[in-house]
Structure 1
Amino acid sequence: MDARLLSDAATAATAAGDTAWLLAASALVLLMAPGLAFFYGGMVRAKSVLNMMMMVFGAIAVVTVVWVLVGYSIAFGDDMGLGLFGDPTQYLGLKGLLEAEPGAPYPQILFALFQGLFAVITVALIAGAIADRTRFGTWLVFCAVWTVLVYAPVAHWIFDLSDGDHVGGWMVNRLGALDFAGGTAVEINSGAAGLAAALVLGQRLGFGRDPMKPHNLTLVMIGAGLLWFGWFGFNAGSALGANHLAAVAFVNTMLAGCTGLLAWLGVERWRDGHATSFGAASGVVSGLVAITPACGHVTPVGALAIGLVAGAVCAGAVGLKYHFKYDDSLDVVGVHLVGGLVGTILIGLLASSDVTSVDGLFYGGGADQLGKQLVAAGATLLYSFAATAAIVAVLDRTIGFRVDPDHETQGVDLVIHAEAAYDLHALSGTRPHLGGHGSS
């Protein structure tokens, strides 16, 4: 066979393999959202579990539609100046992505959806910070507005690489910050947004006084397992191909989840005398959060260290809400903001040229990359916090974001959705009072 034909066949086979992996990775990232619904649903009180799950499923629908219409174009369209925003009209409704591009490693329309699922999980994470007290209809509006004004611009900053005539975002191209799969755009972004939203909406009734323990730890463990499984698509999928880098990211993701779990349990055992299932689930997630930006930039030993640090630090950080009196219902700040900061900053110490393009401080690369990581983390935190606080405040003052106190006491499942997660009255033949329907 002609050598050129052999080369073309090999290229086509590689492209088919890369496309197949990106399809599978996209499905795995989507699975993270129902996994998060289980995880969060088990963490809230029984009277709010359906609402919590609905907030996640609502985010899937709203964010995906908004992403297709305009979000992808803002994130990955040609930069409009200063590296802050992409052209919102360039890929409006994914126009221009229907035709196959000759020689492309995967269809760009598939890449667009893969990235859109990152937006979905980022927005859904914020729901955990304001659980038990929000209007569902206003939450859906928030999902749309936040995707356009916060997530898409930050994704442009860190994910949109300049290529040929295409000019991307400032953080990855001008600053040179490293973020393999979303420590800034996903983790720090959602954590800072969760903190802002929790502060603006205020504490739940009885916060710091009434017990607000997870109502179903079985759901929490199921959710953590699904998140861990889906995270392989999140991280290894960001290699955008079935290749060696994807394998490294896959291995590092597994390792950091393990050491995150062990570190959290170690802190619990030392502090409280018990290693709990809730701590195990939280430790896994903290390790996965921290390795997300670093999985394609560190060695397996570096991944073990990142998970260990994240598990220990996040286990301590979740208690800060009681000290500073902010009601982050499901520890979005303590796990995702703090874990995202840990992973993003530790790239500057643990990045290795055996895996990526630079060496961190511990590998002889100096402090230059560490400084870049600090700037990226700080800029994302400040922008997300300020923009989210403004969005939540405007929505609360116009259409109302927080439910009425009486409805919050009764439970948002019954008031908003006219449903109960558990039919506790079946044996007696009675039905729960459904209450009003006007707080959605």
Structure 2
Amino acid sequence: MSEFTGIPTDTGTGGNSLDTDLNAPYDKADMVWIFIAGSFVWLMVPGIGLLYSGLSRKKHALSLLWASIMTIAVVTFQWYWWGYSLVFSKTRGNGFIGTLSMFGFKDVLGAPSAVGVVPDIVFAWFQGMFAIATGILMVGGACERARLFPMMVFLFLFITIVYCPIACWTWNPEGWLAALGALDYAGGGPVHICSGHGALMYALILGKRNDPLTKSGVPKYKPHSVTSVVLGTVFTWLGWIGAFNPGSAGNTTIRAWYSAYSTNLAGSCGALTWMFIDYFRCGRKWTTVGLCSGAIAGLVGITPAAGFVPLWASVIVGIVTAAGCNFAVDLKHILRIDDGLDVYALHGVGGCIGSVLTGIFAADYINALAGVESSPIAGGWINHNYKQVGYQLAAMCASVAWTCVVTACLLLILDRIPFLRLRLRPEEEELGTDEVEIGEFTYEEDAVYIPEPIRSKSIAEAPAAIIDDKVQTGNSSSEELQSEPKTNA
């Protein structure tokens, strides 16, 4: 057994691992929890891809699943390359953006992280998943009409230029919003406001989808697979209650588990609210897509508030956010911006509502559930700290303005670079992103369909062209297709 004589430090790597036990300052249960929480957030990303895929048309369905895996790869590299350093390194004194002192994860090892209770390498793992989640939400604004290589380039730049500054303002202890006193437990601003308004700008710059039947306004299509929508919602909801919000406590205290229940409660109330509203707005049907959309809206609304508000306030947050997002879906028709997956309505509007409600319902005694590891807050209106809503509005407006202006400029510049043209051509869009850009399909449209099982060996070995002819012309009967008795199958 090695003898460790060194003393862990608060700077650099935290010490020389050959003579210093870098694990000594930390609670191993906290480290295990943050790692597991990060892994669950990772699972949310393909869940969002599955949700988006189900909401799209069949000829574009695979591209959205592709986008989820691509986002994991691109943003993971960006976070390693310089993302983590830009968000959580020391700032230059203005609280706007970090330095490149941790470029390429330089010295990211055993020194205390920004939250203090876990080492840098564990914290970097967890926070990287939030950047990935922001990325996959944002690219939803480009559904069914974006070229994929420019999407990858844009995603890398968006996370660097748009997400990283907002995350630094909010979560870096030296960030100007953190210093101002704005509260954001798990990403109302950096994740949802940023991704929702980024998606809105992406949809605006790309223009609406081509649809000869829609002369004005924006086209509207039915989801091609409600089953995929449900499964995507399940993965996303599980990640939210199992990691996204409770993991943001940064430790294994009661506050983490309280925020898990708060999150599930708000999501449930949001699901019911949206479903009941749709019942009266959509022909008195209990819509499954409405139920899933409401759950996502409620989860978005509680994200900035989960570790700050009482459970009874979570009910209000879920109901108000779902109702607001439901009616915000109509904004795309007013603005004539084709946000086909309603990323802006759910995440942009939902994040804003949740941020303001945090300023109203934040309670000092809920925050204090973290015990000695808590950073005291003055609370919101229920603690008679009435200026807190002002801080929340400042954070919201700053995040919206930065996201919209910088994202729009970035997209307009990229679109003028010939090989980075953002949008598919009309004929390519008609064929579908899957065929034109990927060459693979979620569903094989040309696959041979035989109306009853093949029972004989000889028909299984028959040339495909013969089978195609009989099936497509409809002239074949089961007797014609069956050349041997059933007993020989």
**Common fold by TM > 0.5:** yes
Q: Is the contact made by 2:162 and 2:406 (CA closer than 8 Å) also made in structure 1?
A: yes
Cα distance, 1:49 vs structure 2: 0.6
- Give the whole-Å Cα distance in 2 for the aligned partners of 1:324 and 1:317: 11
1:400-411 → structure 2 map (5 Å cutoff): 400-411=421-432
Stretch deviating more after TM superposition (149-158 or 419-428) = 419-428
The residue number in structure 1 matching 2:379 is: 359
**5 Å matches for 1:243-254?**
243-254=253-264
After superposition, residues 39-438 of structure 1 pair within 5 angstroms as: 39-87=51-99, 89-99=100-110, 105-161=117-173, 168-173=174-179, 175-206=180-211, 208=217, 211-232=220-241, 233-272=243-282, 273-356=284-367, 357-361=377-381, 363-398=382-417, 399-427=420-448
Task: Specify the structure having the higher radius of gyration (Cα).
Answer: 2
Shift of 1:99: 4.3
Give the Å deviation of 1:427.
Answer: 1.4
CA distance in 1 between partners of 2:310 and 2:436 (Å): 50
3-state SS of paired residue (1:424):
coil
Q: Measure, in 1, the Cα distance between the counterparts of 2:264 and 2:240.
A: 9
AA of the residue aligned to 1:141: V
Q: CA deviation at 1:105?
A: 3.3
1:144 maps to a residue whose letter is F
1:15 is matched with which residue?
A: 27
Distance 1:72-1:27 versus aligned 2 partners, 3 A rule? same
| Distance in 2 (alpha carbons) for counterparts of 1:76 and 1:209 | 41
The aligned amino acid for 1:180 is Y
Q: 1:219 offset after TM fit, Å?
A: 0.2
Deviation, 1:350, is 1.0
Deviation, structure 1 residue 106: 2.3
Q: Secondary structure at the match of 1:81?
A: coil
Cα distance in 1 for partners of 2:219, 2:394 equals: 40
Percent identity for Structure 1 against Structure 2: 37
Contact 1:56/1:127, CA 8 A, preserved across alignment: no
Once the 2 structures are TM-superposed, how far is the Cα of residue 82 of structure 1 from its aligned partner?
1.6
**After TM superposition, which residue ranges in structure 1, 4 or more long, deviate above 4 angstroms?**
11-14, 99-102, 207-211
Structure 2: gaps spanning 5 or more residues: 1-22, 368-376, 450-463, 466-489
Q: What code does the residue aligned with 2:411 have?
A: V
Contact 1:286–1:314 (CA under 8 A) maintained in structure 2: yes
Are 2:35 and 2:125, in contact at CA under 8 Å, matched by a contact in 1?
no
SS, match of residue 191 in structure 1: helix
Partner of 2:18: none
Shift in CA distance, 13/386, structure 1 to aligned 2, threshold 3 Å: closer
Q: CA deviation digits over 1:131-170, x for unaligned, max 9?
A: 0000100010011111111111111000111xxxxxx210
Which one-letter code corresponds to 1:171 in the other structure? L
Higher mean displacement: 93-102 or 384-393: 93-102
- 1:13 and 1:20 mapped to 2: Cα distance? 14
- Paired AA for residue 404 in structure 1: R
Deviation at residue 395 of structure 1 after TM alignment: 1.1
CA drift of 1:108 comes to 1.1
CA apart distance, 1:247: 1.1
Deviation for aligned residue 1:100: 6.1
Contact 2:363-2:383 at 8 Å conserved across structures: no
Secondary structure of the 1:354 match is: helix
Q: TM-score, normalised by structure 1?
A: 0.90
Q: Please give the alpha-carbon distance, in whole angstroms, between the structure 2 residues aligned to 1:391 and 1:131.
A: 18
Length-normalised TM-score, structure 2: 0.81
Flag structure 1 segments of 5+ consecutive residues without an equivalent. Answer: 1-10, 162-167, 431-440
What's 1:434 paired with? none
Q: Deviations over 1:64-94 (max 9, x none)?
A: 101111011000111123211101x211111
CA spacing shift, 1:107–1:268, aligned 2, 3 Å: same
Separation (CA, whole Å) in 1 of partners of 2:150 and 2:65: 16
Task: Calculate the aligned-residue CA RMSD, in Å.
Answer: 1.8
- Say which SS state the counterpart of residue 286 (structure 1) adopts: helix
**Cα distance, 1:390–1:304 mapped onto 2, change above 3 Å:** same
The change in CA–CA distance for 1:95 and 1:218 in structure 2 (over 3 A counts) is same
* Number of equivalences: 411
Checking the alignment, whether the CA contact within 8 Å between 1:196 and 1:389 is kept in structure 2 is: yes
- Quick check: 1:171–1:177 contact (8 Å CA) kept in 2? yes
User: In the aligned structure 1, how far is the partner of 2:383 from the partner of 2:75?
Assistant: 42
Shift of 1:344: 0.3
Q: CA deviation at 1:300?
A: 0.3
Q: Distance in 1 between matches of 2:169 and 2:390?
A: 17
